[in-house]
Amino acid sequence: MKKLINNVDNVVKEEMEGIAAAHADLVRVDVANQIIIRADAPVKGKVGVISGGGSGHEPMHGGFVGMGMLDAACAGHVFTSPVPDQMQIATKAVNGGAGVLHIVKNYTGDIMNFEIAAELAQADGINVEAVIINDDVAVQDSLYTAGRRGVGATVLAEKIVGALAESKADLHTVAEMCRKVNSMGRSMGMALTSCTVPAAGKPTFDLGEDEMEIGVGIHGEPGRKRMKLASADEITEMLTMPVVEDLGLKQGDHVIAMVNGMGGTPLIELYIVYRKLDEILKGMGVGIARKLIGNYITSLEMAGCSITLLKADDEMIKLWDAPVNTPGLRWGV
Amino acid sequence: MKKLINNVDNVVKEEMEGIAAAHADLVRVDVANQIIIRADAPVKGKVGVISGGGSGHEPMHGGFVGMGMLDAACAGHVFTSPVPDQMQIATKAVNGGAGVLHIVKNYTGDIMNFEIAAELAQADGINVEAVIINDDVAVQDSLYTAGRRGVGATVLAEKIVGALAESKADLHTVAEMCRKVNSMGRSMGMALTSCTVPAAGKPTFDLGEDEMEIGVGIHGEPGRKRMKLASADEITEMLTMPVVEDLGLKQGDHVIAMVNGMGGTPLIELYIVYRKLDEILKGMGVGIARKLIGNYITSLEMAGCSITLLKADDEMIKLWDAPVNTPGLRWGV
């Protein structure tokens, strides 16, 4: 195992210390509790928006804490859910009196722990709503999930919902927008290689030199099929068409598109994938209104990519364009 | 070889098509000539700033074309210099009447071809100055270079010089700032793994399962030494101290710091490196005024990192903070 680390037990702690040293202007970091909090939290009268999950998917979620996106992110160990205590502390820290939204990816551990945290926070008198993101069309149930997994739409939800919360919309309105983004967002991913969890010390799964996994999960969970390596164009079609069909995209629709690298994929390859995605959607009369191309929800050093499409209306696009100032996404400021 | 490509011969062409499809609001792309040009070029009365080099280092340079940074970038094939024709076309396309600056990384092919292009442009009546970036402290001469290689300081130079050009400074002033950034910037990199050039189909170099290369070049050129894998803290010291010493950094100095991923390094690891870099500099009384942490000058899917420090004065920091709107760097707009 070749990694730029000191000790497998301290990977997340030292990452937190690095983020604290780098981004004190944007966030404060509770290193002991592995929580990243917006520097000026709680913002009075604003709905607090928090998320969290296992580490190893950076920049998600900690890299998306700041003005216009998340108020806090709870980091578990690599590929391991954070615990309810973290979420409870985060919920309290960001409560500006207007309640707190929990954005939860659909993994059994995350769901369970966020539910407990919501109950604890509500017992403390904080109004909490939770929205579950389950946008991965690849498989119905999975290694750590009942139903569809939550993946790339989480990034888009955090941006759009964060902008709406910034405008001082109320908790119900913010939660409804998050549900809408989830209902209009779909993703599918693939892997050329596995990744290695530091504490495990060996690849999560084995993939032959001429094989790839279509529909892979962000923890290396099995996808739809393992098959011979195909061309970028063929792979892009295999990822795009199930998303398009599940979403029922039709001529005249507009999407926010994300071509996401899994962590070990050169940007040059992501642009080759985007080229084909654009061609497919143009051929259907679907417009790409906004896009992200790069590493946003990763699986350590896995090589591969995922495609997320969000059928977007004017309100979503306006919220997308609103200023954001986080370590991982920044514009307008 | 596992890559998201269609054909090894079309990698750069299809990347260009992807960039054209994605970023028409920011740039126009001459796909046939592999040139990315700022959408509103030439900007009348502004010094045009261009750079270029082999592909495979994305987002550099094409990802840095746009308001506040480069006016054009010429892309060679992967790890191969662009040709004088490309640079001549780019120079003409961005000449707004105030002359054009060529920012050239110190590789023999790049230097030679930019020199020819400058002569051709000057014969056309365009005033051209060239500045060579040679910031890599690892080795004196190298596989493709006489003297020091040009690496990470190029990214910082493109941002700072681009902002100065945006303010309508004259060609001499812009070129002088570029020389100053180069003289105050130093870098060193390391590799945990090789990368594979698509056309070669096999890794550029071999590195044992327990080995790393300290001082590696961005094309996999040999560095200072090949040695047993060390901890992130030890590696960070090995990269930082030669940079600090060569730059003569002392208490009270301020730097712009970049912790750069080589393409296949998870962000979590870059923050662990940043943590130690911050600790080393704090211990010396050197302040980090601004920072970049992520993939900015890559070597395809190589795992590893580089550290760049630029001893920065107030003017450089002010130019750093100026608005920029490119596919790869964006703030203030």
The 10s digit of each residue's pLDDT in A6-52 is: 999 999 999 999 999 999 999 999 999 999 999 999 999 999 999 99
- For residue A142, pLDDT beyond 90: no
B230 min Cα distance to partner chain A (Å): 8
Same domain, A45 and A165: yes
Rg (CA), chain A: 19
Q: Could you tell me if residue A331 is inside a domain?
A: no
Digit-coded pLDDT (tens) for A72-131: 999 999 999 999 999 999 999 999 999 999 999 999 999 999 999 999 999 999 999 999
Q: Look over chain A and give the mean of its residue pLDDT values, rounded to a whole number.
A: 97
Distance CA A55, CA A213 (A): 22
Q: Are residues B51 and B174 in the same domain?
A: yes
**What is the number of structural domains in chain A?**
2
Model confidence band, residue A304 (pLDDT cutoffs 50, 70, 90): very high
User: Any CB–CB contact under 8 A between B193 and chain A?
Assistant: yes
The verdict on A179 touching B (C-beta cutoff 8 Å) is: no
Please compute the mean of the pLDDT values over residues B34-44 and round it to a whole number. 98
Under the phi-then-psi rule, with left for phi > 0, alpha for psi from -120 to 50, and beta for the rest, what region is B98? alpha
CB B22 within 8 Å of CB A274: yes
The mean of the pLDDT values for chain B is 97
Measured between alpha carbons, how far is B75 from B84 in angstroms, rounded to an integer?
Answer: 11
Which tokens go with B76? Answer: 């060679």
CB contact under 8 A, A278 and B22: yes
Residue A271 lies in a domain: yes
Instruction: Specify whether B95 is located in the same domain as B116.
Output: yes
Tokens, residue B159: 């941002």
Q: Which chain A residues are Cβ-neighbours of B260 within 8 angstroms?
A: none
Q: Which residues of chain B have a CB within 8 Å of the CB of A264?
A: 263-264, 301, 303
Region B106-130: what's the mean pLDDT? 97
Note down the domain range covering A277.
186-319
Question: Whole-angstrom Cα distance, residue B82 to residue A131?
Answer: 50
Cβ distance B5 to A273 less than 8 Å, yes or no, reads no
Q: Are strands B48-55 and B72-78 parallel, antiparallel or unpaired?
A: parallel
Note whether residue A82 is domain-resident: yes
- Chain A residues touching B267 at Cβ < 8 A: 58-59, 63, 263, 295, 298
Same domain, A119 and A225: no
What is the CATH number for B222? 3.30.1180.20
Does residue B142 have a pLDDT over 90? no
Cα angle: A71, vertex A294, A284; to 5 degrees: 105
| B270 vs A82: CA distance, rounded Å | 22
Pick A272's closest partner by Cβ from B4, B275, B301. B4
pLDDT confidence of residue A111: 97
Separation CA A299–CA A250 (nearest Å): 32
My answer on whether B163 and B237 are in the same domain is no
Distance, in Å, from the CA atom of B298 to the CA atom of B59, rounded to the nearest integer, reads 8
List the beta strands (DSSP E) in A19-133: 27-30, 35-38, 48-55, 72-78, 100-105, 128-133
Residue of B nearest to A190 (CA): B4
A78 interaction partners in chain B (CB closer than 8 Å): 268
A57 is catalytic: yes
CATH of the domain at A166: 3.40.50.10440
- pLDDT of B122 higher than 90: yes
Query: Best mutation site among A7, A9, A271 for testing chain B: the one with the most B CBs within 10 Å?
Result: A271
The answer to whether residue A333 is domain-embedded is no
Q: b/e for A10-47, b at 16 or more Cβ within 10 A?
A: ebbbbbbbbbbbbbeebbbbbeebbbbbbeebbbeebb
Q: Are residues B130 and B153 in the same domain?
A: yes
Report yes or no on B7 lying in a domain. Answer: no
Q: What does the DSSP 8-state code read for residue B8?
A: G
**Cβ–Cβ contact B233 with A under 8 A:** yes
Residues in A touching B203 (Cβ below 8 Å): none
Q: Closest Cα to residue A61, out of A298, A304, A330? A: A298
> Would an 8 Å CB–CB cutoff place B44 in contact with chain A?
no
- Which residue among A17, A193, A272 places its CB closest to the CB of B18? A272
pLDDT over 90 for what percent of chain B? 98
Flag whether A306 is in a domain.
yes
Q: What does the CA dihedral A278, A284, A288, A289 come to, rounded to 10 degrees? A: 160
Which residues, at least 6 apart from B52, have a Cβ–Cβ distance to it below 8 Å? B61, B73, B74, B75, B76, B82, B86, B87, B90, B110, B114
Query: For residue range B204-235, what is the model confidence (pLDDT) as tens digits?
Result: 999 999 999 999 999 999 999 999 999 999 99
Say if residue A98 is in the same domain as residue A227.
Answer: no
| Complex prediction ipTM | 0.98
Alpha-carbon separation of residue B179 from A283, B60, B160, B222, B321 (angstroms) = 48, 19, 11, 26, 19
Pair A222, A93 in one domain: no
Q: Are A84 and A117 in contact (CB under 8 A)?
A: yes
**Which chain B residues contact residue A57 at CB under 8 A?**
none
Candidates B1, B2, B3, B4, partner chain A, best to mutate (most A CBs within 10 A): B4
Q: How many CB pairs under 8 A join A and B?
A: 176
Residue A291 and residue A148 in one domain = no
Closest to A59 (Cα-Cα) out of A33, A88, A27? A27
What is the C-alpha separation between A102 and A48, in angstroms, rounded?
A: 9
Cα distances (angstroms) measured from residue A25 to each of A67, B23, B314: 11, 30, 19
Please give the Cα distance from A261 to B126 (Å, whole number). 41
Q: Based on the residue annotation, tell me whether A172 is a catalytic residue of this protein.
A: no
In a domain, B110, yes or no: yes
* A174-200 confidence digits (pLDDT tens): 999 999 999 999 999 999 999 999 999
pLDDT at B47 over 90: yes
Of all residues in chain A, the one with the smallest CA distance to B16 is A271
Tell me the C-alpha distance between B150 and B61, whole Å.
13
Beta strands in B134-273 (DSSP E): 185-191, 211-214, 225-228, 254-261
- Whole-angstrom Cα distance, residue A41 to residue A149? 30
pLDDT mean over A307-317: 98
Residues 273-312 of B with CB under 8 A from A: 273-275, 278-279, 291, 293, 295, 298, 300-301, 303-305
Residue with tokens 């164009």: A233
- Please check whether residues B110 and B35 belong to one and the same domain: yes
Token pair belonging to B200:
């070669």
Closest-CA residue of chain A to B75:
A268
Report which of B178, B306, B322 is spatially closest to residue B243, judged by C-alpha positions. B306
Select from B70, B294, B40 the least CA-distant residue to A18.
B294
| Those residues with Cβ within 8 angstroms of residue B162's Cβ, 6 or more apart along the chain or in another chain | B49, B64, B68, B69, B70, B324
User: Could you tell me if B99 and B120 are in contact, meaning their C-beta atoms sit under 8 angstroms apart?
Assistant: no
Q: In this predicted structure, what is the pLDDT of residue A122?
A: 96
Give the C-alpha separation, B274 to B168, whole Å. 35
Distance, in Å, from the CA atom of A298 to the CA atom of A264, rounded to the nearest integer, reads 9
User: CA nearest A114: which of A81, A139, A145, A147?
Assistant: A81
Mark whether A173 and A205 lie in a shared domain. no
B192 touches chain A (CB under 8 A): yes
Rounded to a whole number, what is the distance in Å from the CA of A303 to chain B's nearest CA? 8
Whether B140 and B230 map to the same domain: the answer is no
Residue A193: its chain B contacts at CB < 8 A?
2
Q: Does B97 lie at the interface with A, CB-CB under 8 angstroms?
A: no
Q: Where are the beta strands (DSSP E) in chain A?
A: 27-30, 35-38, 48-55, 72-78, 100-105, 128-133, 185-191, 211-214, 225-228, 254-261, 287-294, 304-311, 324-325, 330-331
Q: Examine residue B333 and state whether it is found in any structural domain, yes or no.
A: no
**What's the whole-number mean pLDDT along residues B51-56?**
98
Write out pLDDT tens, residues B169-200. Answer: 999 999 999 999 999 999 999 999 999 999 99
The answer to whether B212 contacts A2, with C-beta atoms less than 8 Å apart, is yes
